[in-house]
Amino acid sequence: MSAPPVHADNAAQAEYWNSVAGPKWADRQEVQDQVLRPVSDRLIAAANPKPGERVIDVGCGCGATTVDFAARISPGGEVLGLDISEPMLARARERAAHLPARFALADATVYDFEPDGADLAASRFGIMFFADPARSFANLRKGLKPGGRLAFACWREARQNPFFVVPLREAGKHAPPLPEMDPEAPGPFSLADPARVRRILTDAGYADIDLKPHDLELDIAVGRGLDAAVHAAMTIGPTSRMLEGQSEAVRAAVEADIREALAAHARGDSVPLGGAIWIVTARNPAR
Query: What is the four-CA torsion angle of 180, 187, 62, 120, rounded to 10 degrees?
Result: 170
Closest CA to 86 of 31, 187, 6, 9: 6
Q: Which domains does the chain have, with CATH numbers?
A: 8-161+182-217+276-283 (3.40.50.150)
Q: What SS3 class is residue 80?
A: strand
What's the confidence (pLDDT) of residue 1? 45
Rounded Cα–Cα distance for residues 58 and 66 (Å): 9
Rounded Cα–Cα distance for residues 94 and 96 (Å): 6
Q: pLDDT tens across 207-244, in order?
A: 999 999 999 999 999 999 999 999 999 998 889 989 99
What's the confidence (pLDDT) of residue 4? 65
Q: pLDDT tens across 36-52, in order?
A: 999 999 999 999 999 99
CA 229 to mean position of chain CA atoms: 20
The answer to whether the beta carbons of residues 175 and 250 sit under 8 Å apart is: yes
What's the confidence (pLDDT) of residue 17? 78
Residues in the chain with pLDDT values less than 70: 1-4, 287
What are the counts of helices (DSSP H) followed by strands (DSSP E) for the chain? 12, 7
Q: Is the pTM of this model over 0.75?
A: yes
Rounded Cα–Cα distance for residues 226 and 271 (Å): 7
Phi-psi region of 268 (alpha: psi -120 to 50; beta: other; left: phi over 0): left
The answer to whether the beta carbons of residues 157 and 187 sit under 8 Å apart is: no
What's the confidence (pLDDT) of residue 7? 73
- Amino acid present at 63: G
What's the confidence (pLDDT) of residue 287? 67
User: Residue 137's CB: how many other CB atoms inside 10 A?
Assistant: 26
What's the confidence (pLDDT) of residue 180? 78
DSSP 93-155: HHHTTTSSEEEEE--TTT--PPTT-EEEEEEES-SS--SSHHHHHHHHHHTEEEEEEEEEEEE
What's the confidence (pLDDT) of residue 75? 94
The answer to whether the beta carbons of residues 191 and 128 sit under 8 Å apart is: yes
Q: What SS3 class is residue 187?
A: coil
